[in-house]
């Protein structure tokens, strides 16, 4: 029985987080396999791009072309006995169709997700909160779901100011993850690394599974993040400040 092995790498700051998911799978059958990869559409998480490799025969990056043209290319490739990739959408999911994967051939699927770093609710409302992605891409054959097996993860928190008060929802009863290593990466203590992996069966729907990281920084002044677009010839800013501080100082 073939399973899917995963590597998750997350880069987190005060504004947003980017997670790169690398999934490896090998066709366990003696015949070619038509594989479908399902990605949930989530208004809070942007599925920004993907790369896919089928053995040494095909390597693609996500690209937008007309649906009709893509369907024709996919059908022609399958009819010719070649491996092919086609993207569609259905019922709130993005579906990456991979056809004619040869027997015992490996598929590597790398997807990238971006979302804003949240502020924690409740008593920890002054802390930043990052949650490990649970709704990961799902691999399905014609009559079978290929389940997640080994999961290895890396979280790199890199902020402008010193990182303080780090709390981790790992190693509690019901969690399927354990921390392998954690440490500051510099003397300024504004970069922190956490390495983790699963130590029992992974179930992405378990509500009891705590997979959050909470942290604070020694905030001193508002932050401004700049993104430049050479194509659109425009600059975009995200500005973060603590309203309470402004109120206390009677500033607008």
pLDDT, one tens digit for every residue, the chain (252 residues): 468 999 999 999 998 999 999 999 999 899 988 899 999 988 888 898 888 888 876 677 665 444 555 455 545 544 454 556 778 888 889 888 887 788 999 999 999 999 888 877 655 567 899 988 888 999 998 888 887 778 899 999 999 999 998 988 765 445 578 889 999 999 999 999 999 988 665 544 444 456 889 999 988 888 888 888 877 789 988 888 777 655 655 555
pTM of the entire structure?
0.81
Architecture in CATH of 4-217: Sandwich (2.60)
CB contact at 8 A, 75 and 62: no
Please give the pLDDT value at position 232: 79
All structural domains of the chain with their residue ranges: 4-217
Q: Which residues pair with 23 in a beta bridge?
A: 6, 109
């Amino acid at each position: 029985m073939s399973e899917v092995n995963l590597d998750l790498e997350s880069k987190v700051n005060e504004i947003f987080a980017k997670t790169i998911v690398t999934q490896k799978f090998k066709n366990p059958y003696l015949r070619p396999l038509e594989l479908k990869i399902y990605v949930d559409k989530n208004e809070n998480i942007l599925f920004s791009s993907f790369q896919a490799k089928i053995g040494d025969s095909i390597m693609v990056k996500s690209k937008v072309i007309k649906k009709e043209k893509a369907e024709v290319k996919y059908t022609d490739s399958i009819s010719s006995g070649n491996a092919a990739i086609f993207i569609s959408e259905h019922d709130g999911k993005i579906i990456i169709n991979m056809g004619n994967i040869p027997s015992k051939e490996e598929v590597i699927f790398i997807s990238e997700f971006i979302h804003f770093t949240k502020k924690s609710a409740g008593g920890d409302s002054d802390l930043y909160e990052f949650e490990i992605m649970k709704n990961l891409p799902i691999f399905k054959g014609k009559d079978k779901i290929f389940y997640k097996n080994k999961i290895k993860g890396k979280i790199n928190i890199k902020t402008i100011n010193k990182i303080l008060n780090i709390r981790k929802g790992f190693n509690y009863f019901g969690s399927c993850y354990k921390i392998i290593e954690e440490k500051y990466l510099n003397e300024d203590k504004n970069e922190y690394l956490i390495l983790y992996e699963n130590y029992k069966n992974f179930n992405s729907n378990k509500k009891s599974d705590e997979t959050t990281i909470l942290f604070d920084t020694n905030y001193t002044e508002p932050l401004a993040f700049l993104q430049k677009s050479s194509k659109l010839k425009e600059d975009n800013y995200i500005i973060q400040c603590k309203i309470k501080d402004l109120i206390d100082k009677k500033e607008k």
